[in-house]
Each structure stands twice: as structure tokens, then as C-alpha cells.
Structure 1
Amino acid sequence: MTTSVVLFTRDLRLHDHPPLRAALDGSRAVVPLFVRDRAVDAAGHAAPNRLAFLADCLRDLDAGLRERDGRLVVRSGDLVEEVCAVVGEADADEVHMAADVSAYAHRREDLLRAALNARGCRLHVHDAVTTVLAPGAVTPASSDHFAVFTPYFRRWGERPVRAVLAAPRRVPVPDGVGSRPLPSRRDLPGLSPGLPAGGESEARKRLTAWLRGGITGYADHHDDLAGDATSRLSPYLHFGALSAVELVHRARRRGGPGAEAFVRQLAWRDFHHQVLSARPHASTLDYRTRHDRWRTGAGAEEDVAAWKNGRTGYPIVDAAMRQLRHEGWMHNRGRLLTASFLTKTLYVDWRVGARHFLELLVDGDIANNQLNWQWAAGTGADTRPHRVLNPTTQARRFDPDGVYVRRWVPELAGLEGRAVHEPWRLPGPERAAYGAYPDPVVDLAEGLDRFRRARGLD
């Protein structure tokens, strides 16, 4: 019997954790390790909201381990160096970790394996820890990945999902392995005021409440902006405080149209992960180029600033952008329409929007964020790449009474009914009463014409 190291990355939980279970089955002791990777900071991914949520997750993980006679070892620096140092301190001969899909994750795995092999230590990388199915588990006959969701979902639904693993009862950790103090969100400035609490304990409470009630109406109400009828579990999935495998099993046991619609969204998440795994460049380059000549210069910069600050003059867009800034989260329908507005109505590069979202989103995930932005921009997997979401039409459909707009754009709270969606149409004196709210940055017809000409659609 030996000692193993379990390297936690985006799998910060004890329930349904294949690397931890495998390590405990084959070793007399385990070192649960998290490394605050300086390469992540250097790449600009250390956003305050996610760091705060991460701190919550780590503290909760440590508490869960201590209930099981263990503890979390936290290090900071070069990931490969820190893992090797812990291996030496613990005299470990195995390291277990979850597979991931980004280009950096692939490089990290290769470097870590080479360094551990040089020490006579084996690296075990486990699939289906952060996703339901591993990328590449289902592929079409003519390619290494699916480029269209519907056929992927058909095959995805036919594959068996592995069983859920129970949380361990005991995690014996050897003495003599040093750790840095656990981080705390109290030490972080610039957080969104409405940022949710992180951690597996909070995640499981929210999951239980969601399965008891919210999931039933999900199929009918998930696009209702004012109703806020989504699960809000995406941050916990991003950090692995919840297992996507467990969510699929529990939703299917619950059954019904709502559960089926929810499982479909988990399949979308897997779809994006398998695309990025096969095409890592899609995090920064067009998955399917349209040869766009995106707007730049002072005018574009002014439009981007208005978009970021929720001052475009289109209330539904501004409401969603203000929700993002306040909560570090945005309703999925809001994400679609704000992304379409930036890339197609304003004709600004999708990477500008993706970067802004990653600066604020607590669930900011490279696969989902970048590929959803590409979907909205028409450079991704959308089979209708030139569709443009009209914000006024979207507002009337998904916020018909204007409740969502009034919640986030208080300057317009006095407007009744659907007038709140088009304040620029108010008669002169009445419009003057709402002068604190700006006029539209662009006429929708002009924006559509500019986009169509740029794409050569006229």
C-alpha cells in the first residue's frame, strides 16, 4: 500500500469524484492537493468573482475533508513544480487528476506526466469527472468530433452514463506535507455585490431545492427573464462543486419535460467541451471563419463602452449587462441577446465580448463562454450563422410585462407596460422625463444593414 496525491482542479467536491475514489482504493493515504497555478493568473483568467467563489469552494472542500479525518493541502506557484514537491514530501508514487479540454490543460497534463515519470511516479488522468461523457466518447464516422449539436445529442443520449460514486467516509492524509493558508473572499476587492456563495455544501442545497420544485417548469419557463426559472447551478458545475454525471442521473429519475430540457442543457455543455478538446484554437480563433472585418476605432470603442455599462439605449440589453455586473451571472437568454447585439447589431469582434464576460462571470468557462460567443457571432456551431436577434422583439417575447427591465434599469421604473422596452418612442415631454436614460446607440435597421453588407448577404 502506498501514498497517492489527488490533484483537484475544476472538480472541487467529495461526492462522485473518480480520482479521489481511485486513489483511496489503491493507497493507504492520500494527499488532497490544490495548486493556485500562477500560469492561470498570467493568462488573465484570475477574475475577482471567480477567485472569491474558488475561495469558498476550497474552504468548503477542506471542511468536508476534515470531517473525514483529512485536510486540503494548498500550494501556489508553478503547478508542475508544486505537485512534484508534494510527491516528494509525501513519498507518493501516484497522482490522480481529472481530464480537462483546453489547450493549456493538455499542455499541463503533458508537462506533469513527463516530470512525474522522471521521478518514477505515475499520473492517472480520469475522464467524465467534469463532464457527463468524455470528449471523444461519441464521434461521427467522418470526423474526430461533432460540429452540429443535434446529431451529437442523439448519440450522446444513447450512451450509458457511469454510476455515481458516494463520497468517501474517511480520507487519511499523511503528516509532513505543508500547506499555505486557505484563501478567503474577504481579501478580494472589486467583487460583484450579488455574487453567490460557493462550495459543495451550498451547491447540494441548491440542487435539492431545484429538483424539488424548479425543474418541473423548466421546459416552459427557462427563457422567462423576469421569472428567473433557471437552475443557477452553472457556477457550481464550472468549479466542479457539483457533478454533471450526478445531475443527469437525478434529473432523469425526476422525469418529465422539465428534466428532459435540463438534461439537454447538460448535453450542450458536453458538446462544447468536445468541440474545444478537438479544436483548442477555437478559444481564440474562429471555429468557422466568416472573414469578418469587425469594426474598430473610436466609434466602436464608444459602442463597446455603452454595451459594457448597460447604456446602449436598448433596455433589455442594458438590463442583462447590469445583471452581469451586479451578480457575476446573467440569465442565459440575456447572454444570447447581448452577444448577438454586440457582434451583429454593433458588429464588434466576439472576442471583445467574450473577454468582458470572463472578467465578470463566476461561471466563466473557456469551452462554454467562447463557443457560445462564437455561436452568437455566427462563427461557431450555429447552423443559422447569420441570424440576428432583435432586442425589442426579444424583450416583448421574454419580458412581456417589462418586469426584468424595471428590476435592472430603475431609471425606467415609472414606465408602464411594453413602453418600457422602447423609451425612445415616447412623446417629447414624456421622453424628457426619462432623460437620464440614453437614446439608442444605433438604429436597429441600420445595424442590420451594416451586418448584412459586411457578411456579403445583400
Structure 2
Amino acid sequence: MRVRVVLFTSDLRVHDHPPLRAALDASDAVVPLFVRDSGIDAASFTVPNREAFLADCLRDLDAGLRERGGRLILRDGDVTDEVAKVVSETDACAVHLAGGVSRYARRREDGLRAALRGLGCEVVVHDAVVTCVPPGEVAPAGKDHFAVFTPYHRHWDQQPVRSVVRAPRAITVPEGVGSAPLPQRDKVPGVSPGLAEGGEEAGRKRLTAWLRSGISAYEDRHDDLPGDATSKLSPHLHFGTIGPVEAAQRSRAAGGPGAEAFVRQLAWRDFHHQVLAARPAAAHDDYRTQGDRWRTARSAREDIEAWQEGRTGYPVVDAAMRQLRHEGWMHNRGRLIASSFLVKTLYVDWRVGARHFLDLLVDGDVANNQLNWQWMAGTGTDSRPNRVLNPLAQAERYDPDGTYVRRWVPELAGLEGAAVHRPWKLRGLERAAYDYPDPIVELSDGLARFKRARGLD
């Protein structure tokens, strides 16, 4: 019997899955394998929200495989060791997996090749599974990647995209391959109470609903904080319960300005992946240093704690941070406002904010999280490194009636309209009625500090 292993990583689906399709076409049986990798635990990347969402994804993936006659094989430990064990147990001739872009993913691929070579087993890496366009496929002449989004997007938009791969009808798994028990979401402590459901079924339902009733208004409403009119597909893209190629193809088929704007966001995702693939150190080092001497976790401890807890005294910032803690997710405009406040107004090292986001975000992705933080800090790919988002101006523009703030900062619910954005303007007993802090910094003072640090004063 010809056996091949399909190693699932961040592609937890049966629809539009090139590694699974290729393995099935070339073998009599496949081993659908997921390894809960001890290396990821050691890197402190396993956090409650993603662990709980992953539990949903693995159980749903197993159900999807069982509907087709297969099942998911789950192992725990070092990914290279566990894959080698499965190859030895089944005499598999090849391991198929999706290509990754992080330094860790590349080391994993290299480690698999080295370990399996002696077993006579081939490693087949598939592109355009985690991204629409493979990193490195689009690059300027003489360079390995685009450093600016606009020209990247122009070329990206002209690239031919592979066809969506149909889900298999039948899957045969060799008998006798042992598996660890599937995890359960309700056994994971410390999960955000409003965390969304994970899994391919939930992801596909969300994508279909989004295409039917949300995407047409996306261009006009994607920054609407109270309207909550974004797709909320980012967790499913991160875990691969929906494929970016299928999301792009179906969005383009829907057509219209909203679809174009949404597909542009998928291009941003690919852009960050190709930057990290070319510059893996950008996961922790400045892509373009500005010579900053940031305030650190130690020197700015009280300010950082206030920001993390949603007690900065700026309601729109605090609303965004509380949404993050409650849902394990944050509105895209809220992410920009909250990150700008930390790095530009408080002048705190972007890595402090990036780590906190990774500790809570269910869609916490190294490429997108770290490079978006650097974009806001002005040390990444932003062509305007000194931009500062004024949280009051942002609140007035994107939450004009204060609905978003009142949703997430309930102690201010008694303030009507835009007055909720400036509670410190209240006086006497009226101010005392609200258990909410005064601003931890004057915006003018924060701006002056930032300009001094960047030599702009």
C-alpha cells in the first residue's frame, strides 16, 4: 500500500487543501496528521484563546475527515520526531505540508527533510496554501521582496491565482495508527468569555454570510467601530479553516467596491508574509530602525498596565483594549488606535504591545501582528514613520456617537453622545459619579516627548 502523510499546520480544513489533494492523488492511503508541537509551547506562543480555538478546529477537522471515511491522527511532542515515528509506523513514502514563512516554519521544513531522508521519505512543500500568492513570487527587479505595499499590491493583483481545490469525497487511513485524544475547548483555562467558535464549519458559514450580507458595504464601513462591519474572518485565516485563495476567489466573484477593498486586505496579509519570509528577524527586530530609545516594560510599568487593563483615561483606547480581553479579538481600527497610543503617545517599545496582543489575540499571527505593530511604530514598512493617531480625533471620526465606547466601557454608559469621549471635562459631583480615571498623559505632552525622541522638535 502506498502511504503518504499530510502534516496539517495552519491549514486546518479539507476544502481547498492542495497538500491533502496531492497526497490522495498519489497514494492508496493517507495519514492526516497534526502534531501539538512542543517547540511552539517553548516559544510561549501557545496561549489560552488560541489553544481553545485550536481545540475547536481539530475536532471539526476530525469530523470532516470522518465524514469522508478518514480521521485525524493527533500526536504530542517534537514535530520532527513525531512525523518520523508516523513515517516509520506506516512506511510512508512522502510527507506533504503547506509552506510557512517564519523562521520557525522554515527550520521545521529543514528538520523534516534531514530526519526523513534516512527513512527514504520525501518532503513535499506546497505553496499558496497559507497565502494567495507565495512569498517571493512577486518581487521587484534585483530584490527579494517588496518593502512598500502599493507597488506590491499592483503586481500581486495581476498574478494568476491557482484554482480552488475541491474537497475529497473519500479518504482512506491505514489501520492501526495511534492517536492522542482530541482536545476540548472547555478544558482550557483562562479563555476570553466572548471568544468566537473555531473550526472549518464555523469558518465557512461566516465566509458565506459575509459574502451574502456584509462585503458589499465593506469599503464604506470597515472603519466603523460601533457598526462592527468587518468580516471577523482573521482567526479562520490564521488557523486555515478557510483558505485565502478561496476567500479571494469568492470575493472577486461577488464583485463591487466592497469586494475589492476586502481582497486588498488579503493582499496586505500576503505582503506581510513576504516581508517576514525575506527578513525573518523582523519578528523581533526593527525592519527600519529610527534609533528609538523606547520606554521599556520596566521603566513604563504603570502606563503599560493602565493600557493593558483599559484604564488609560481615553475611552476609545480603553474600549478597544477591553474588547481584546473579552473577545480575544479587536476591531481593526481599534488596533490602530490602541497601538498608536502605546508606541507614539506613551513612547513604549512596540515589542511590549506586540507581546500583549499575541497573549490574547485568537488571530495572533507573527507576520501580521509584528509587522503591523512596526508599521504603527514607524520602524516597519510605513512610508510615514512619524504619523501619530490622535485618539480623540479618531473617536470623533469612527465612533461619533460614542456607541462603541459605551459598549465596552460600561461605567461611562450614562454619558450621552460624543461627551463620552471626554469624561474629564465633567466637574464636581457629576465627575465623581463616574468611576473612571483621568488621562494618564496629556496628548500634547505625549506628542512632544515623541517628537523629541525622533529629533522632530
TM range (shorter): over 0.9
> Is the alpha carbon distance of 1:190 and 1:141 closer, same or farther for their aligned partners in structure 2, counting shifts above 3 Å?
same
Query: What does residue range 280-429 of structure 1 map to in structure 2 within 5 Å?
Result: 280-296=280-296, 300-429=300-429
The CA distance in 2 between the partners of 1:452 and 1:171, in whole Å, is 61
Query: Structure 2: which amino acid aligns with 1:455?
Result: R
The CA distance in 1 between the partners of 2:198 and 2:130, in whole Å, is 17
- What secondary structure sits across from 1:27 in the alignment? coil
Give the match for residue 200 of structure 2: 200
Query: Structure 1: which amino acid aligns with 2:430?
Result: E
Query: Structure 2: which amino acid aligns with 1:60?
Result: D
Aligned residues: 457
Query: Structure 2: which amino acid aligns with 1:271?
Result: F
- What secondary structure sits across from 1:96 in the alignment? strand
How far the C-alpha of 1:30 sits from its partner, in A, is 0.2
Give the match for residue 263 of structure 2: 263
The CA distance in 1 between the partners of 2:28 and 2:345, in whole Å, is 60
Give the match for residue 444 of structure 2: 445
The CA distance in 2 between the partners of 1:143 and 1:160, in whole Å, is 21
How far the C-alpha of 1:297 sits from its partner, in A, is 6.9
Displaced runs of 4+ in structure 1, greater than 3 A?
296-299
The CA distance in 1 between the partners of 2:163 and 2:11, in whole Å, is 17
What per-residue deviation string (whole Å, max 9, x for no partner) do you get for residues 199-252 of structure 1? 000101111110001001000000000000000000000000000000110000
The CA distance in 2 between the partners of 1:270 and 1:5, in whole Å, is 27
What per-residue deviation string (whole Å, max 9, x for no partner) do you get for residues 157-206 of structure 1? 01011000110001100001100000011111100000011000010111
Query: What does residue range 225-264 of structure 1 map to in structure 2 within 5 Å?
Result: 225-264=225-264
The CA distance in 2 between the partners of 1:366 and 1:132, in whole Å, is 17
Q: TM-score, normalised by structure 1?
A: 0.99
Q: Percent same amino acid at aligned positions? A: 71
Give the match for residue 272 of structure 1: 272
> Is the alpha carbon distance of 1:26 and 1:334 closer, same or farther for their aligned partners in structure 2, counting shifts above 3 Å?
same
| Contact in 2 for aligned 1:90/1:176 (Cα 8 Å) | no
The CA distance in 1 between the partners of 2:130 and 2:428, in whole Å, is 55
Q: CA RMSD in A?
A: 0.8
How far the C-alpha of 1:143 sits from its partner, in A, is 1.2
Query: Structure 2: which amino acid aligns with 1:219?
Result: E
> Is the alpha carbon distance of 1:298 and 1:432 closer, same or farther for their aligned partners in structure 2, counting shifts above 3 Å?
farther
The CA distance in 2 between the partners of 1:191 and 1:75, in whole Å, is 23
What per-residue deviation string (whole Å, max 9, x for no partner) do you get for residues 379-407 of structure 1? 00001010000000000000000000000
| Contact in 2 for aligned 1:235/1:363 (Cα 8 Å) | yes
How far the C-alpha of 1:295 sits from its partner, in A, is 1.3
The CA distance in 1 between the partners of 2:190 and 2:41, in whole Å, is 16
The CA distance in 2 between the partners of 1:290 and 1:171, in whole Å, is 53
Are 1:114 and 2:114 counterparts? yes
How far the C-alpha of 1:298 sits from its partner, in A, is 5.8
How far the C-alpha of 1:429 sits from its partner, in A, is 2.8
Give the match for residue 5 of structure 1: 5
The CA distance in 2 between the partners of 1:208 and 1:129, in whole Å, is 20
Query: Structure 1: which amino acid aligns with 2:300?
Result: A
- What secondary structure sits across from 2:419 in the alignment? helix
How far the C-alpha of 1:427 sits from its partner, in A, is 2.5
The CA distance in 1 between the partners of 2:338 and 2:141, in whole Å, is 36
- What secondary structure sits across from 2:5 in the alignment? strand
| Contact in 2 for aligned 1:9/1:98 (Cα 8 Å) | yes
The CA distance in 2 between the partners of 1:439 and 1:299, in whole Å, is 21
- What secondary structure sits across from 2:28 in the alignment? strand
Query: Structure 2: which amino acid aligns with 1:273?
Result: H
- What secondary structure sits across from 1:4 in the alignment? strand
| Contact in 1 for aligned 2:313/2:437 (Cα 8 Å) | yes
| Contact in 1 for aligned 2:138/2:156 (Cα 8 Å) | yes
| Contact in 2 for aligned 1:8/1:33 (Cα 8 Å) | yes
The CA distance in 2 between the partners of 1:269 and 1:157, in whole Å, is 13
Query: Structure 2: which amino acid aligns with 1:107?
Result: R
The CA distance in 2 between the partners of 1:310 and 1:119, in whole Å, is 54
The CA distance in 2 between the partners of 1:233 and 1:266, in whole Å, is 11
Are 1:31 and 2:31 counterparts? yes
What per-residue deviation string (whole Å, max 9, x for no partner) do you get for residues 76-127 of structure 1? 0010000000001111010000000000111111011111111110000000
Query: Structure 2: which amino acid aligns with 1:13?
Result: R
What runs of 5+ residues in structure 1 fail to find an aligned partner? none
Query: Structure 2: which amino acid aligns with 1:126?
Result: H
| Contact in 1 for aligned 2:297/2:304 (Cα 8 Å) | no
| Contact in 1 for aligned 2:297/2:352 (Cα 8 Å) | no
Query: Structure 2: which amino acid aligns with 1:450?
Result: R
What per-residue deviation string (whole Å, max 9, x for no partner) do you get for residues 342-391 of structure 1? 00000000000000000000000000000000001000000101000000
Are 1:69 and 2:69 counterparts? yes
> Is the alpha carbon distance of 1:297 and 1:255 closer, same or farther for their aligned partners in structure 2, counting shifts above 3 Å?
closer
How far the C-alpha of 1:296 sits from its partner, in A, is 3.3
| Contact in 2 for aligned 1:89/1:176 (Cα 8 Å) | no
Q: TM-score, normalised by structure 2?
A: 0.99
How far the C-alpha of 1:299 sits from its partner, in A, is 5.6
The CA distance in 1 between the partners of 2:105 and 2:230, in whole Å, is 30
| Contact in 1 for aligned 2:11/2:239 (Cα 8 Å) | yes
Are 1:217 and 2:232 counterparts? no
